[in-house]
Amino acid sequence: MSTVTNHEVKAARLSKELLVDAYRMVYMSRRVDDKEIQLKRQNRAFFQINGVGHETIGVAAALHLKPGYDWFYPYYRDRALCLQLGMTPYEMFLGSVGAKDDPASAGRQMPSHWGHKKLHIVSQSSPTGTQILQAVGAAEATQYFSLVKEAAELATSFHADELVYVSLGDGASSEGEFWESLNWACARKLPVLYVVEDNGYAISVPVDVQTAGGSISGLVKDFPHLLTLECDGTDFPESYEAAGKAVEYVRRGQGPALIHAHVVRPYSHSLSDDERLYKSEEVRQREAHRDPLRRLADLLRQERLVSEKELKEIEASVDHEIREAVDQALGLEPESSATIMRYLYSPSVDPTSEQFDQPPTFHGEPKTMVDLINAALRDEMARDPRVVVFGEDVADCSHEDELAKVKGKGGVFKVTHGLQRQFGGARCYNTQLAEASIVGRAMGMATRGLKPVVEIQFFDYIWPAMMQIRDELITLRWRSANTFSCPIVIRAPSGGYLAGGAIYHSQSGECIFTHLPGLRVVMPATALDANGLLRTAIRCDDPVLFLEPKHLYRQTHNRSPYPGSDYMIPFGKARLVREGADLTIITHGSLVVRAVAAATRPRKPRARGLKVVSAMPASRQ
């Protein structure tokens, strides 16, 4: 005898085919994990982190989503989601053994760091939570394409009702970037579907220690425009229903949605962890009782949707597919270590090449560095509707109805002045005071084909964005073996020599960034350099940190007439500023003019032999 539970009522609304197919996928995900664990134990896989206990919510969510249409920023527990979206067990095993045909990273990353170009699964990294800001940026691209039609026409993929899926664990919801992302996604009503897969632990730290009040949905439920849903993520009908509601809400353009899915993690955090060290036997038993695979099988039995024989047949066919996939993957070659340097930079656009050596055609009176940076931004925004400028205070006036009544801010140094007025608030806008958000979102937008030129208000405040720059921005192309890229430009006023700078408005730290492979670091020494190098930065295909020596912004000595809208200086080309026979000074930025001044000081005759070279229009690792 069976009582009609709430569970069964919901299940009755789902077709037999749907439930059976879902079971097949949950079972497949479980068995791929089991197989990979075996391979790891045999030293034939490099690492193992499992999706066990999280399968049901993954399959349920994916069933409402469209691979190759929506965009996906999953985390390592999302094996079942990725399978349901269309990744095959074979493709997953390519990652397990580090084969060069691995679609996620060509064997460059650990397994379960998902990525798949055709399915729109954007390459994921290891830091917890960094993907969230990028996902919000990808959704901001959707909004941008809706607002700027000329950019949408150039998009490789854009659909008005597309959405961006992003998932994270309960632990990752403690990262500041999660909160930054939510603030922006809600403020802009962006089409983002958050799924927090709460298995109660971040490695060994339980959720009541991790999260105030022990519930992330409890904390976020009052965010404006956010639909918050809570479900048992080990229960298929409940998960399917929650995902359906959330997807519908986001597709209708009402704003982001967040599903708080309660799941379990019965296999320990990874093969490097033993949960018996911190979970008692009772707790483990309780979790085992909620195993989503067993629960879905029980549901199929209770509803008499399959016979025992049919269930065994489904499992046998999946087991067979997995055996074949492993056999195929095991024999494959890993990528040769000789290719290690490949894809640090764009293989197709070389900003050090002659293509970027375009002569000036001068017009008008000499202009300052601020004027010529502003001119380059205007030229590039006019040339390409995909160029978008945002940051703190970069707009003229956030409230557009006030714009006609004011002169406009346009940046604390006025570098972006007039861009909003000329190109509209969709293309030049203020964003929240959150530097990781500025860089992370720009990455997501660039992955979708936009060209964000963002401002960090002072170099001194770039550090909150360091995680995004160091672990994400510079690695995306390399770690995905050129499948994804994010060629953004980060502009930052930098350096000292302005009165009143003290220690937080005068920092120079370009050397820290020139040690980051994958990043181009540029620092002009004159207005003309700034104009030509910024154009190269925007047209090149690599991430660029464009450091503007703010002391030079308005100095008259480095002024130049406007050099025309195609003037470009290739990166990595030094300029001889002053001849000398005794000693060579190789310098950059504000120090070029100072070195020349030192060399020409009349009371120091020996300085006259100094040769000065302006060495860093750009650096390359």
Ligand X SMILES: Cc1ncc(C[n+]2csc(CCOP(=O)(O)OP(=O)(O)O)c2C)c(N)n1
317 to 30, 50, 55, 92, 186: CA distances (angstroms): 14, 22, 19, 18, 44
List CB contacts of 608: < 8 A, sequence separation 6 or more.
580, 599, 600
CB of 351 to ligand X, least distance (A): 31
Q: Which stretch binds Mg ion (CB under 5 A): 49-57, 164-172, 420-428, 533-541?
A: 164-172
Nearer to Mg ion, 75 or 345 (CB): 75
| Residue 425 lies near ligand X (rule: CB under 6 A) | no
Q: Select the binding partner of residue 127 from Mg ion, ligand X, none (C-beta < 5 to 8 A, by kind).
A: ligand X
Q: Select the binding partner of residue 77 from ligand X, Mg ion, none (C-beta < 5 to 8 A, by kind).
A: ligand X
- Known catalytic residue: 289? no
Nearer to ligand X, 127 or 425 (CB): 127
232 to 23, 201, 243: CA distances (angstroms): 17, 16, 11
| Residue 170 lies near Mg ion (rule: CB under 5 A) | yes
CB of 456 to ligand X, least distance (A): 21
Q: Which stretch binds ligand X (CB under 6 A): 147-155, 168-176, 307-315, 402-410?
A: 168-176
CB of 170 to ligand X, least distance (A): 4
The one-letter amino acid code at 512 reads I
Q: Are 429 and 409 in contact (CB under 8 A)?
A: no
Identify which of 15, 22, 32 has the alpha carbon closest to the alpha carbon of residue 84: 22
Whole-angstrom distance, CA of residue 474 vs CA of residue 549: 23
Q: Is the dihedral of CA 93, 95, 99, 102 positive or negative?
A: positive
Nearer to ligand X, 205 or 330 (CB): 205
Q: Write out the two tokens for 29.
A: 């995900």
Q: Select the binding partner of residue 126 from Mg ion, ligand X, none (C-beta < 5 to 8 A, by kind).
A: ligand X
Nearer to ligand X, 230 or 455 (CB): 230
Among 505, 515, 557, 588, the one annotated catalytic: 505
| Residue 169 lies near Mg ion (rule: CB under 5 A) | yes
Burial class (CB in 10 A: 0-12, 13-18, 19+), 66: middle
Q: Which stretch binds ligand X (CB under 6 A): 109-117, 170-178, 535-543, 554-562?
A: 170-178
Q: Nearest to Mg ion by Cβ — which residue?
A: 169
CB of 377 to ligand X, least distance (A): 34
CB of 195 to ligand X, least distance (A): 11
Nearer to ligand X, 168 or 618 (CB): 168
The distance from CA 64 to its chain's CA centroid, rounded to whole angstroms, is 23
Whole-angstrom distance, CA of residue 174 vs CA of residue 176: 6
Nearer to Mg ion, 270 or 346 (CB): 270
Whole-angstrom distance, CA of residue 67 vs CA of residue 616: 44
Which residues 242-271 are close enough to bind ligand X by CB under 6 A? 265, 269
Q: Ramachandran region of residue 214, left (φ > 0), alpha (ψ -120 to 50) or beta?
A: left
Whole-angstrom distance, CA of residue 360 vs CA of residue 346: 26
Q: Are 385 and 148 in contact (CB under 8 A)?
A: yes
Residue found by looking up tokens 């409940």 in the block: 238
Q: Write out the two tokens for 46.
A: 């490099």
| Residue 48 lies near ligand X (rule: CB under 6 A) | no
Q: Which of 84, 96, 112, 128 binds ligand X (CB under 6 A)?
A: 128
Q: Which stretch binds ligand X (CB under 6 A): 96-104, 162-170, 180-188, 522-530?
A: 162-170
| Residue 506 lies near ligand X (rule: CB under 6 A) | no
Three-state DSSP class for residue 120: coil
List CB contacts of 490: < 8 A, sequence separation 6 or more.
439, 442, 454, 455, 456, 462, 465, 469, 543, 544, 545, 546
Q: Which of 137, 171, 292, 464 binds ligand X (CB under 6 A)?
A: 171
CB of 77 to ligand X, least distance (A): 5
Which residues 194-213 are close enough to bind Mg ion by CB under 5 A? 199, 201-202
Q: Which of 26, 152, 192, 202 binds ligand X (CB under 6 A)?
A: 202
What one-character DSSP code corresponds to residue 126? S
Whole-angstrom distance, CA of residue 418 vs CA of residue 394: 9
Q: Which of 103, 169, 237, 617 binds ligand X (CB under 6 A)?
A: 169
| Residue 175 lies near Mg ion (rule: CB under 5 A) | no
Contacts with ligand X by CB under 6 A: the residue count is 16
Other C-beta atoms lying within 10 Å of the C-beta of residue 600:
13
| Residue 127 lies near ligand X (rule: CB under 6 A) | yes
Q: Which stretch binds Mg ion (CB under 5 A): 96-104, 157-165, 168-176, 287-295?
A: 168-176
Q: Are 395 and 455 in contact (CB under 8 A)?
A: no
CB of 128 to Mg ion, least distance (A): 10
Q: Are 488 and 452 in contact (CB under 8 A)?
A: yes
Q: Select the binding partner of residue 154 from Mg ion, ligand X, none (C-beta < 5 to 8 A, by kind).
A: none
Q: Nearest to ligand X by Cβ — which residue?
A: 169
Kind plus residue range of the DSSP H or E element containing 22: helix 16-41
Whole-angstrom distance, CA of residue 133 vs CA of residue 488: 15
Point out the residues that are catalytic. 505
Binding site for ligand X (CB under 6 A): 77, 126-128, 168-172, 197, 199, 201-203, 265, 269
Binding site for Mg ion (CB under 5 A): 169-171, 199, 201-202
